[in-house]
Structure 1
Amino acid sequence: MADAQTILGQSKNVAFDGTVYRNICSLVLSQDLFDDIADPEDFAMAQAIEEYAKPPHFASHQPIIHRPFEEADWNDSVDYPFENWQESRFSTGKFGVWYGASDLMTGVYETAYHWIKRMVDEDGHWAEGRIAQRKVYSVDLKAVLIDLRTTCKKVKALTDKNDYTLTQSIGKVLSEQGHPGLLSKSARCDGDIQAIFTPRVLSNPKVSCWFEYRIEGDQVIASSGSNSTSIHIKIDQLVA
């Protein structure tokens, strides 16, 4: 069986400079960030205080009155996985990994899988009629990345749906070496994903669209009113 060092030694670097998509759990409707903590006449003071607590990697060229909302987008779309470590495909849970997708459909497949898996883990089954709201950000990514996409076709363990032993060992090596990230095939569909180990190579997050996921029969249906997209995924395909 191939190990992390062998696979990385055979992989090429690719200069990536483009837009990727981050799909997160969210309510469709947003609200003013200060609604619950200040009266309207005190918003200016609240915004000034907010400015002093901005994340270290966040930089804004917007007027201060707009920055709390821009900064909220940064926290939601970029900073969260670096501040809240958890075990995942390329992480042992001892370091943060940010996941993006090269297209909307790949992001839907990846997040629909985790939604169903969490439901089964917590309740023992997936439930007809269950609904989830998702927000999708477009994020600029510029970095030299390890490209595992060709190797994924030869080493099936790189896209194993359930066993992350090999991919976590690769993530651990890259994180320890200070590498910015990697490109890989999705484990849920034929799309491409990015696993990023530092927020410094990410910038300019913008809300792209919203999705509503719902379970109907044996399918997850992802519908987006913002761009008239509807994606149907067989649940057995996700959890097989």
Structure 2
Amino acid sequence: MTTRYTFPSLLLLILLFISCCLPAQGLRPYNPSNATNGILLGLGGSITVGSMLIDRKVVPMSELEVKGLDAANIWPVDRFSLRHLSFEADEFTDKLLLTGFAGPFFLMLDKTGRDNFDEMAMIVFQGALLNSALINLTKSTVKRARPYNYNPDAPLDLKLRKSSRYSFYSGHVATAAYFSFTTAQLYSDLHPNGKARPYIWAAAGMIPAAVAYGRMRAGKHFFTDVLIGFAAGTAIALTVPALHRAGGE
């Protein structure tokens, strides 16, 4: 299991290291406006505050509610997660997620990345804020029971926690997708003719895919949870840099 999870993360780190050692092109692809910054920061901040207020009203399921859950009501495509419970998989997805966090920093290894540090830092922060805000808002609003709530082998105390209602959608997958694809998009903008581009994009997709599989094996999320998480994180990763590109405001 360790090999399966660490391979894609190591692959992305190696590719990023190689790509950032390529000759710098001196590009300045980003020209963010105050309006763009204000809208993104305001939107992310507002959703964050709203999600916190909603989350305060979320209460854990009672033992009676847990016992009343019926696996027959779960869509067939989501039933894979019902028969899995792995604390090891849960731990490894936590570690694998750290790879995505580190990705953007590897873009600082060449001059082009360092020249665009201020703009890239703002892009990464704004996207991360918006990604986190949407995750928290959706979880606290939907309150979908996690797969392990249907598993008789899962500890009861785990099922009675507030977090057991935060299945939809997967924050791990959305965050892994966001940071991985943001790194790939930033690299593509900084190195439009870089030969490593297709490999970096392919590797960027492997990390959230591996996290998604691990979250299902851990019994933490259904397939639809990780699918939407993947899509949401990717959409934010592609949209925020586009809003900051020169001439694209």
TM-score for the superposition, normalised by structure 1: 0.24
More strand as a share of residues? 1
Higher relative contact order (CA 8 A, sep 6+): 2
Greater helix proportion: 2
TM-score (ref. length: structure 2) = 0.23
